[in-house]
């Protein structure tokens, strides 16, 4: 037994009290209580984006004592205006996305994989309600994660997005005829209200990215999720855009993709 | 074999990532599950500083409280454990300061050439030596190095100090303990 093992053994002899679990639980419960109390921003976890935004508007109303509809109307009339962010009221919301186990799953679920350079971005209200889900789609947990196979009521879903325009530099999977593609990300500032979707970091203008996208007929494409679907591309160097991304990407993988999907 | 270990590690990091994401969205149960994986280590480390059960439990509770409140700061799941230990060590040192049992250690550490040191020195460190003869920062580094098997690089990040300083303090602590052991032998 070396010197390190002997110390480890001695440390392990420190008896663990029975109440240890309980003390951990108390500490966390106390933190949770204070977080709920002090949270000025609305935590909309689990209730989905749609209900979340409704509550967010209610929050705006309660805090400012303004007519909620005026705020919305003003916002719709001037979507491109971006007053000083520090003066804007922030509304934070959460959205759940599918999480991909590995690179293969990420590729399989992408309609389009590209490298592109961001030319510009704008904030828009976009109706993403789309066509109703089929019975088959309703049972797909990825498409309908919270409803357990039940049908949601038909709804009009207009959400705030930052839409980036990218000049396509390379296509690795899928086909795309135009040179420019629009990619939307949740959040952005409309009027006096800054909408922040937790964990979403906006693509930066003039930067190139490799993106794993879902495409739609009537609205801009989306990243598969905010954590795993974007990589920063700088002079041949590829780096995950989100620090929590566990899926690595390199030029070799991209070339393999290109060969595989171009041969199809 | 190595591939399997790497695969297991990736799986663990991926599962850790999922739990951290849930906790960052306010899921206290997910955070409790995570925290309980490390609470025994945190308790034992705290005990080495505060030397009694009651204060060590207070450190665990406070670490649980502080870490959940700051969970959104965690960007890389693989550093979650060292991040927790850092919070625990900082609080344990706060407790000691409050009780005025500790003298402030010098903020400047003399850098020295650790490559010249005899790393193979025979040294049997007892828990009592560690608790009684080392200064708080020395304890932190020895505990992280020996008990938690962290690399010097990880230790320097955990305790927010230069790599060379972490090495210097570690070897200085071992020197101090060696002197204690020698002194103890002579006297005994």
What's the complex ipTM? 0.71
Where are the alpha helices (H) located in chain B, listed in sequence order? 2-24, 28-50, 53-69, 80-98, 127-133, 136-142, 152-158, 163-187
Q: What is the pLDDT of residue A3?
A: 54
Among partner residues B17, B27, B61, which is closest to A24 by beta-carbon distance?
Answer: B61
Checking if the pLDDT of A174 tops 80, the result is: yes
List % helix, strand, coil for chain B (3-state, nearest 5): 75, 0, 25
Tokens, residue A95: 């959205």
Q: Which residue of A has its CA nearest to B13?
A: A246
Output the furthest CA–CA distance in chain B (Å, rounded). 58
Tokens, residue B112: 């020295």
Checking if the pLDDT of B43 tops 90, the result is: yes
Listed residue (A81, A82, A163, A84) closest to A122, CA to CA: A163
Among partner residues A23, A35, A243, which is closest to B76 by beta-carbon distance?
Answer: A243
Q: What is the pLDDT of residue B38?
A: 92
The pair phi, psi for residue A139, each rounded to 5°, is -85, -10
Contact B147, A7 (CB under 8 A): yes
Instruction: Catalogue the E-assigned strands of A111-192.
Output: 112-127, 158-173, 180-190
Higher pLDDT, A70 or A132: A132
* Least confident span in A129-133, A178-182, B24-28, B29-33: A129-133
Q: What is the pLDDT of residue A72?
A: 45
Q: What's the CA gap between A237 and A228, in Å, rounded?
A: 17
Structure confidence by residue, pLDDT tens digits, B121-159: 334 566 777 777 888 888 888 888 888 888 888 888 888
For chain A, what is the mean pLDDT? 75
Among partner residues A4, A12, A246, which is closest to B146 by beta-carbon distance?
Answer: A4
Instruction: Categorize the per-residue pLDDT at B51 as very low, low, confident or very high, splitting at 50, 70 and 90.
Output: confident
* Least confident span in A57-61, A127-131, A185-189, A209-213: A57-61
Chain B residues with beta carbon closer than 8 angstroms to that of A20: 39-40, 43, 57, 60
Among partner residues B27, B64, B124, which is closest to A3 by beta-carbon distance?
Answer: B124
Q: Does the CB of A24 have a partner CB in chain B at under 8 Å?
A: yes
Structure confidence by residue, pLDDT tens digits, B61-99: 999 999 998 888 887 787 888 889 888 988 888 888 776
Q: What's the CA gap between B74 and B79, in Å, rounded?
A: 8
Cβ <8 Å between A10 and B126: yes
Contact B42, B85 (CB under 8 A): yes
The stretch A156-162 carries a mean pLDDT of 77
Checking if the pLDDT of A71 tops 80, the result is: no
Q: What is the pLDDT of residue B110?
A: 37
Where are the alpha helices (H) located in chain A, listed in sequence order? 3-12, 20-38, 48-64, 68-77, 103-108, 135-138, 251-262
* C-alpha pair distances (Å), A60 with each of A83, A176, B130: 17, 40, 56
Higher pLDDT, B188 or A98: A98
Q: What is the pLDDT of residue B132?
A: 79
Of how many residues is chain A composed? 264
Contacts of B40 (CB under 8 A, 6+ apart): A16, A20
Kindly tell me the burial class for residue A10, based on how many C-beta atoms sit within 10 Å of its own C-beta (0-12, 13-18, 19 or more): middle
Q: What is the pLDDT of residue B65?
A: 92
Predicted structure pTM score? 0.43
> What's the sign of the alpha-carbon dihedral A172, A175, A178, A183?
negative
Q: What is the pLDDT of residue A232?
A: 94
Checking if the pLDDT of A168 tops 80, the result is: yes
Contact A229, A106 (CB under 8 A): yes
Chain B residues with beta carbon closer than 8 angstroms to that of A31: 28, 64-66, 68-69
Listed residue (A164, A188, A225) closest to A53, CA to CA: A188
Residues 196-255 of A with CB under 8 A from B: 198-199, 227, 243-244, 246
Q: From the CA of B107, how many Å to the nearest CA of chain A? A: 28
Structure confidence by residue, pLDDT tens digits, A102-146: 899 999 999 999 999 999 889 888 876 666 666 666 666 655 555
Kindly tell me the burial class for residue A109, based on how many C-beta atoms sit within 10 Å of its own C-beta (0-12, 13-18, 19 or more): middle
Checking if the pLDDT of A38 tops 90, the result is: no
């Amino acid at each position: 037994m070396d010197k390190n093992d002997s110390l480890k053994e001695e440390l392990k002899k420190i008896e663990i009290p029975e109440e240890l679990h309980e003390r951990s639980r108390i500490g966390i419960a106390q933190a949770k209580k204070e977080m709920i109390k002090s949270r000025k921003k609305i935590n909309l976890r689990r209730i989905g984006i749609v209900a979340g935004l409704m509550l967010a508007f209610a929050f705006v109303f309660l805090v400012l004592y303004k007519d909620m509809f005026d705020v919305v109307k003003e916002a719709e009339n001037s979507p491109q205006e971006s007053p000083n962010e520090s003066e804007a009221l922030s509304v934070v919301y959460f959205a759940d996305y599918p999480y991909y186990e590995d690179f293969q799953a990420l590729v399989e679920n992408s309609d389009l994989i590209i490298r592109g350079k961001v030319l510009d971005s704008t904030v828009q209200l976009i109706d993403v309600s789309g066509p109703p889900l089929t019975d088959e789609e309703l049972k797909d947990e990825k498409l309908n994660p919270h409803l357990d196979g039940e049908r949601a009521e038909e709804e009009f879903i207009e959400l705030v997005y930052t839409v980036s325009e990218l000049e396509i530099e390379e296509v690795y999977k899928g086909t795309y005829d135009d040179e420019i593609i629009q990619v939307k990300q949740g959040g952005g500032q409309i009027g006096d209200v800054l909408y922040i979707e937790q964990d979403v970091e906006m693509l930066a203008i003039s930067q190139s990215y490799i993106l794993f996208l879902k495409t739609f007929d009537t609205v801009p494409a989306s990243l598969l999720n905010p954590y795993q679907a974007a990589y920063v591309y700088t002079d041949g160097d590829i780096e995950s855009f989100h620090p929590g991304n566990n899926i690595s990407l390199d030029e070799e993988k991209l070339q393999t993709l290109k060969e595989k999907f171009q041969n199809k | 074999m190595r591939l399997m270990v790497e695969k297991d590690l990736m799986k663990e990091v991926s599962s850790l990532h999922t739990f951290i994401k849930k906790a960052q969205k306010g899921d206290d149960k997910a955070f409790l599950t995570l925290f309980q994986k490390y609470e025994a280590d945190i308790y034992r480390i705290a005990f080495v500083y505060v030397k009694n059960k009651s204060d060590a439990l207070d450190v665990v509770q406070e670490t649980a409280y502080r870490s959940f409140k700051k969970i959104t700061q965690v960007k890389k799941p693989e550093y979650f454990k060292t991040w927790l230990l850092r919070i625990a060590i900082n609080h344990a040192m706060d407790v000691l300061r409050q009780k005025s049992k500790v003298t402030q250690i010098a903020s400047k550490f003399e850098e020295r050439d650790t490559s010249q040191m005899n790393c193979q020195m025979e040294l049997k460190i007892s828990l009592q030596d560690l608790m009684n003869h080392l200064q708080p920062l020395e304890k932190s580094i020895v505990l992280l190095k020996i008990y938690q098997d962290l690399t010097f690089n990880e230790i320097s990040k955990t305790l927010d100090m230069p790599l060379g300083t972490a090495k210097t303090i570690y070897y200085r602590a071992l020197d101090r303990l060696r002197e204690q052991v020698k002194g103890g032998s002579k006297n005994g």
